[in-house]
Amino acid sequence: MNNFLDFYGENKISPVDQHLHDLNRHFGQRHSLYRSLGLTPLAFKDRDVLEVAPGSGHNAIVTASLGARSLDLVEPNQAGFDKMTALFQEHFASYQHVRFFHQTLEEYTSDATYDVVLCEGLLPGLNTQDRFLSLLAQRVRPGGVLVVTCADAVSVFFETLRRYLARLLLVGHGFDLGSSTGRSEAVNLLVEAFSPHLKTLTGMSRSPHDWVWDNLLNPAATSMASSCEFSIRKCLEQLGEDFYYYGSSPVFLDDWSWYKAVPLDTKTFNQCYLQSYLEQRHNLLHTHETGFMTAAQGEQMYRYCREFAALLESRQNHQWTTLNPEQVLLDLQSVQNVLAILEPTDLNRSKAAIAGYLRLLQSGHSPSAKAVAEMDAFSSAFGRGQQYISMMRA
């Protein structure tokens, strides 16, 4: 079962389009990502590349321009597949080395293996992660590179807080999310409330409507911080027997080992990167700041972040309609605990954002869309979202 695919198919959407009005900027951003992952243009030239779940193909057109011998694009969502093929036909029809497959990875029966395998924005929130990751890994040739994205309860904590706000807003307006009209009205309200927040993101490359669909209404987005979390830790532990850590974005992992002393086995090699992630995890909280926190404090904060996400995921739709102010204040205890852990640290923007969030909800009642739109410190508080990690097959 793929919650992303089910949600996209049910609503006939592919809410992952990127702005292409400035192609140089779009291509430059993608090239910058690949450099962080250790993938120079020569890593693609005359190589065989697979991208799983490329969505509408906006990032795939950059990959297609790098001179791969073959580029296979496996996209199961009908809306995304149609947009992708139309995009290539309109702008990049000359790329004869590109093949399109309207299938899930599980349905993709070709026995081909690849030098580079890409899969972004899918594993966090997927409830068949172990099987899916195994299928991805099998497609990578020895010495080849697998690129996936990770997210954890800390990196999407501010997004989780917004999802809670969104549910309060929708309950306050009595929208029927079971009907297309109700969902359309809900999207419009949430765009009104959160568009000012999105305008603070200088690198925002999606429309507010797409962001609302994918981050606030998509049930898979709720589970990515709790039951279907796919963190860097899980990635390294799952792939650590057969793959070496190769690169990441953001680049925050430290390795001061001497190359002659580096262990040859993958599990030991990856351990220093895992430890560095655990020591730096708190810096995923806010995209505009970094600071110091002990690993023990970071672990405690992570647990409270995940506790709040689990509460949000477990609450059924009918339970939101009967939510009272007292329960809202009880729900926010985990958020209060996160703020308490942050108090002695120098993560001042995070503290101000969470304090403002708690003030908005201190009455326990649903705020208005206008009040959400006019939030101060919280409006520019976004986590580092998904992290890209590249792993080289041993």
The full DSSP string for 207-237 is -HHHHIIIIII-HHHHHTTTTT-B-HHHHHH
C-alpha count within 13 angstroms, C-beta hemisphere, residue 378: 22
Residue 262, pLDDT score? 72
CB under 8 Å to 86, separation ≥6 — which residues? none
Nearest to 144 by CA among 252, 47, 3, 13: 47
Residue in the structure block whose two tokens are 């204040």: 329
Domains of the chain, by residue range, sit at 3-150, 157-217+293-380
Nearest to 74 by CA among 106, 45, 48: 106
Which residue type, as a one-letter code, is found at position 186? A
Residue 14, pLDDT score? 64
Question: Could you count the other beta carbons within 10 Å of the beta carbon of residue 89?
Answer: 9
CATH class of 3-150: alpha beta
3-state SS assignment for residue 383:
coil
Predicted TM-score (pTM) of this structure: 0.91
Residue 169, pLDDT score? 93
Residue 353, pLDDT score? 98
Residue 178, pLDDT score? 64
Contact call for residues 388 and 33 (beta carbons, < 8 A): yes
Residue 17, pLDDT score? 62
CA distance 264 to 225: 33
Which residue ranges in the chain fall short of pLDDT 50?
none
SS3 content of the chain, % helix, strand, coil (to 5): 50, 10, 35
Residue 218, pLDDT score? 85
CA distance 98 to 94: 9
Question: Could you count the other beta carbons within 10 Å of the beta carbon of residue 368?
Answer: 14
pLDDT digits (tens, 9 = 90+) for 21-69: 788 888 999 999 999 999 999 999 999 999 999 999 999 999 999 999 9
Residue 228, pLDDT score? 94
